[in-house]
Amino acid sequence: MSFTPLEKAAKAPLAAAACPRDPVTRAPRSLPAAGLHLERGGASSRERAAASSSGRAVASSGERAVRRLLSPRCLGRLVFVGVLSVLPPWGPLSGSCVAAAEEGIRRFALIAGNDDGGPGTRPLLYAKEDARKIHGVMVRLGGVDPADATLLLDGDAAQLLAALAALEGRAQVAQRAGQKTALVFYYSGHSKDGSLRLGRSQLPWQTLRTALEQAPVGVRIGIVDACQSGALTRTKGARKAPAFAIDAENPRDAKGLVFLTASASNEDAQESDAIAGSYFSHHLASGLLGGADRSGDGRVTLFEAYAYAYERTVADTVDSSAGAQHPTFSYDLAGNGDLVLTDVVSRREGLLLPATAPAGTYFLVDARGVVSAEVTKPADAERRVALLPGSYRVKRRLPDRLRIGDIQILRGEVGILEESRLHDAAFADDPVKGTAREDIRSRWSLALGGGWQNVYAAPSAGLFPAAGLLGLELGLRDFFRKGWVWGMDAGLGGAKGVASASGVLVPFSFSELSLATSMGAEWRPLSALTPFLGFRVAFFLFSRKFDDGALPPQFFATVSPGLVGGLSWSLGHGLSLTARARLHYLVYNIDGNRSLALSELGALGVYDF
């Protein structure tokens, strides 16, 4: 029955080239030194770029720099960029927790990422993605049992310290059982004014450093990818250099602390849409996957990883608008040897760039368009990259063209890249560079809320009474394009009303069901407030049921276009509050065509996954 008026009805280290490596200790031989506390990385005052913002600087997608070789000169034929000593052997990793247990070394990892830096900062795009990437590498290749690896996303300062304390407790249990222990701490996010910024909370640098210094773990490695993070490694009398050599004549057990930071104390840590991540974390992860294995033995050491990340980060940011970014390194350990962080060959799956492959930088782009690894291959040397099984596009950039090809990595197998499988392509076909590809990360959100609805210009006062609504919404953000939100929602509402029939007042129960989809855009001019605007198409089903069955029930169904807009306020930890308004156009075609307006005001609680 149609819904009519009653009136009518009735959702490289360079030193390694000069010092031959010891095959047992994985370290070049050099003069022993003990008790040193040195800092690596940074830049001279002329090289440093002044930090221009409180958050990570965002570089253009097309920004790449010609690699610049940074190395101080030393007397004689030996070129030492730095001298490190007293470092322990991490032990030969197998990439599995079983092997780690057999070595008697138990590894723990706390990996944290937070895009929100609180008031006065711009939200980052890739901090959480960087954390996910490093977490995956450490579990797959770093000998960390998944049970001993904590991934903390959008956590505040109290949660980060609590997670660190929990891992320390597990480490103490392992030590009492006679195991050696090691801890990797990684953070990607904002920092400002001497503190990590985790949402609306702050963690002073000194508090973090003290916590790691006092952690009851044998070896602690702190890796921080944040603006001005070099403040962690500033030490009176420290020396700075982009890479270094190590002493390992008599490796022995050690205890102590190592810090790697993405930038000097007065520099921004930059991220890029082209690699869907920060420069430092991207190159660190690429190095750990095998790109930094300069010795070719299938194992990536801490020093190889740092040297690779330093060299590539400086090269990629030297011509950026924020200026060159110089990672830093410092340690305070007793003992010596090199730290093996990842074992690439243990996985026995991935991609092999053979020695016969041309030299150059290879970009390995996954099926989502994300650069999974970026590997710089020297001439006459092979590189193995521990890629996950899947389809990849391989790209090598030449001065006047690209070499591109596709390869499939099968589970449990190592694919070999053959040059003959690559073909020439124009720069316009570059799957990595260019501005066409924006933020490719997508995420789901779930919202629950309520609102109040009114219909204007109804044929009669009792036809569509004002009603309260409850709604459930599912949103997919940044899937089609950065800043775009695709939503699906369902709502139920109802009210009591009174209609007049031939001068007689008849009470009824009004109900409404709506099913809709929407597409909108959101902006983030401020860190905590996000305005949005979009369009919506909804199916409405209205009904009136009269008390005591005085009259038959009435129904009206229609499809309606509309607009939606509002403002979200971030509370941190993935939670936000949203104030929203909707305006729809209704065509009421019973007893003639009428144009009606439907408005809704609502409030929702939103959780971002």
Q: Are residues 388 and 454 part of one domain?
A: no
What is the secondary structure of 534-594 as a DSSP string? EEEEEEEEEEEEEGGGSS--EEEEEEEEEEEEEEEEEEETTEEEEEEEEEEEEEE-TTS-E
Least confident residue range of 22-31, 336-345, 418-427: 22-31
Most confident by average pLDDT, 18-22, 36-40, 465-469? 465-469
Whether 10 is covered by a domain: the verdict is no
> Residue 470: its pLDDT value, please?
95
280 within 8 A of 133, measured Cβ to Cβ: no
Distance CA(125)–CA(439), nearest Å, equals: 7
Whether 418 is covered by a domain: the verdict is yes
Helix (H, G, I), strand (E, B) or coil at 5: coil
- Backbone torsion region of residue 243, taken as left when φ is above 0, otherwise alpha when ψ lies between -120 and 50, otherwise beta: beta
User: Please, which pLDDT band fits residue 333 given cuts at 50, 70 and 90?
Assistant: low
Looking up residue 101, the CATH number of its domain turns out to be: 3.40.50.1460
User: Please, which pLDDT band fits residue 277 given cuts at 50, 70 and 90?
Assistant: confident
Q: Are residues 112 and 65 part of one domain?
A: yes
Beta 58-59 vs 271-272: how paired, if at all? parallel
Q: Are residues 342 and 376 part of one domain?
A: no
> Residue 66: its pLDDT value, please?
32
Whether 126 is covered by a domain: the verdict is no
Select from 301, 104, 309 the least CA-distant residue to 221. Answer: 301
Kindly tell me if the per-residue pLDDT of 350 is higher than 70: yes
Q: Are residues 343 and 362 part of one domain?
A: no
Whether 470 is covered by a domain: the verdict is yes
> Residue 441: its pLDDT value, please?
56
Kindly tell me if the per-residue pLDDT of 233 is higher than 80: no
User: Please, which pLDDT band fits residue 75 given cuts at 50, 70 and 90?
Assistant: very low
- The identity of residue 65, as a single letter, is A
> Residue 96: its pLDDT value, please?
42
State which of 321, 347, 373 marks the end of a domain. Answer: 347
Report the residue count for the chain. Answer: 609
Distance CA(301)–CA(305), nearest Å, equals: 6
Q: What total of structural domains would you count in the chain?
A: 3
Q: Are residues 370 and 461 part of one domain?
A: no
- Backbone torsion region of residue 357, taken as left when φ is above 0, otherwise alpha when ψ lies between -120 and 50, otherwise beta: beta
Q: Are residues 377 and 475 part of one domain?
A: no
> Residue 483: its pLDDT value, please?
81
Kindly tell me if the per-residue pLDDT of 422 is higher than 50: yes
Tokens of 473: 């919404």
Distance CA(361)–CA(280), nearest Å, equals: 16
Tokens of 478: 């940044």
Whether 435 is covered by a domain: the verdict is no
Q: Are residues 570 and 482 part of one domain?
A: yes
User: Please, which pLDDT band fits residue 318 given cuts at 50, 70 and 90?
Assistant: confident
pLDDT tens figures, 76-129: 322 323 333 333 334 433 344 433 443 558 899 999 999 888 877 778 888 999
State which of 347, 363, 379 marks the end of a domain. Answer: 347
pLDDT tens figures, 472-492: 999 998 777 778 899 999 999
- The identity of residue 80, as a single letter, is F
338 within 8 A of 295, measured Cβ to Cβ: no
Please compute, for residue 418, the number of CA atoms within 13 A of its CA located in the half-sphere on the CB side.
4
As a whole number, mean pLDDT of residues 62-81 equals 34
Kindly tell me if the per-residue pLDDT of 455 is higher than 60: yes
User: Please, which pLDDT band fits residue 609 given cuts at 50, 70 and 90?
Assistant: confident
User: Please, which pLDDT band fits residue 157 given cuts at 50, 70 and 90?
Assistant: very high
Kindly tell me if the per-residue pLDDT of 191 is higher than 80: yes
Write down the residue that tokens 């009259």 correspond to.
551
Whether 436 is covered by a domain: the verdict is no
Average pLDDT, the chain: 75
Q: Are residues 259 and 405 part of one domain?
A: no
CB atoms within 10 A of CB 363: 24
Please compute, for residue 353, the number of CA atoms within 13 A of its CA located in the half-sphere on the CB side.
32
Q: Are residues 293 and 172 part of one domain?
A: yes
Q: Residue 526's domain spans which residues? A: 442-608
Distance CA(201)–CA(195), nearest Å, equals: 10
User: Please, which pLDDT band fits residue 531 given cuts at 50, 70 and 90?
Assistant: very high
Q: Are residues 418 and 462 part of one domain?
A: no
State which of 347, 376, 400 marks the end of a domain. Answer: 347
Looking up residue 584, the CATH number of its domain turns out to be: 2.40.160.20
Which alpha helices (DSSP H) does 215-294 contain, by range?
279-286
Q: Name the pTM for this structure.
A: 0.57
Whether 125 is covered by a domain: the verdict is no
Whether 123 is covered by a domain: the verdict is no
> Residue 467: its pLDDT value, please?
92
Percent of the chain with pLDDT over 70: 71
Looking up residue 362, the CATH number of its domain turns out to be: 2.60.40.10
Q: Are residues 199 and 51 part of one domain?
A: yes
Strands (E) across 42-138 are located at 58-59, 83-84, 105-113
> Residue 29: its pLDDT value, please?
29
Q: Are residues 245 and 392 part of one domain?
A: no
